[in-house]
Amino acid sequence: MITIHLYALSPFNEKIVRTLHYKGINNYRMIEYPLGDRRVKKISPTGKLPCIEFNGQFIQDSTDIVYFLEREFPEHSVLPAKPEQQALVHILEDWADESLYFYEMHMRFGLPHNGKKNIPRMLVNSTGFMHWFLSKVLPSGILKITESQGIGRKHIEQLIIDVRRHLDAVDKLLQNNQWLVANQFSLADMAVCAMFDCLKDAEEVAEMLSAYPKITDWMKRVQALTDQPVIRIEDRKVSQLVDAEARPA
């Protein structure tokens, strides 16, 4: 069985789970951790999640995980056959992970009116003092990250312009195609869709998306192709599972 170790609300979780579902792999479980949980270091030396455990191996980084799954379970590939198409999938996935990711982070958590709604959702597994503490320090911590990256230094008006450009670009890719690359479903669709799903948590983007029917229809296609029931393990069982099963990567 595959175990997915994750934090709540990460768009990278979605990429992994949709890959599993598309490949017909439903024998997995998910363990959600509170932010800052020291037990994460037992399974991910970098302290970053998601991470999967499979046959004694621990694999971190959502891209590495997807490529690992592609090697272990090649049926229903999430990569096109031609090298030049694979290259385009890589470029779009990296754009989603390294550019769109910071927009969704800043707009749904860093902007106060959106953070008020979404930060409590991020802290769903935190309790007591840690819940109180993280609710106080997360907004400034997220802003520090996005300001360092650059997006957090932009005014909301410029952020809206930027996101509209991104939506326009994807809309153009979908003008005569069902999917983003080679008109076949791929990792690029899952990566970009995951970020758009998260960006919808910002009220400004949710409003913008309603003007892009090709994108909203495409997102429904991605969901229809990759949605399956999820096996969850409640957080109260995490300590027991980690102590019993997790080993250093």
Written as tens digits, the pLDDT of the chain (249 aa) is 999 999 988 999 999 999 999 999 988 999 999 988 888 988 888 888 999 999 999 999 999 999 999 999 999 999 999 999 999 999 999 999 999 999 999 999 999 999 999 999 999 989 999 999 999 999 999 999 999 999 999 999 999 999 999 999 999 999 999 999 999 999 999 999 999 999 999 999 999 999 999 999 999 999 999 986 544 444 434 433 443 343 333
Helix H or strand E segment including 203:
helix 203-209
- Using an 8 Å Cβ cutoff, are 53 and 247 in contact? no
- Residue whose pair of structure tokens reads 């990566």 in the numeric block: 191
Q: Are residues 144 and 187 in the same domain?
A: yes
Residue 201 sits in a domain whose CATH number is: 1.20.1050.10
**Spatial distance between the Cα atoms of 107 and 203, rounded to a whole number of angstroms:** 9
Claim: this prediction has a pTM higher than 0.75: yes
Three-state secondary structure call for residue 78: coil
Sheet holding 28-33, edge to edge: 57-60, 51-54, 2-7, 28-33, 232-233
Task: Write out the residue range of the structural domain in which residue 8 sits.
Answer: 2-77+228-245
For CA atoms 235, 66, 168, 99, give the dihedral sign: positive
Three-state secondary structure call for residue 44: coil
Q: Phi first, then psi: give them for residue 235, nearest 5 degrees.
A: -60, -30
Domain count, the chain: 2
Task: Residue 12: count other Cβ atoms within 10 Å of its Cβ.
Answer: 24
Q: Are residues 122 and 177 in the same domain?
A: yes
Q: Are residues 169 and 196 in the same domain?
A: yes
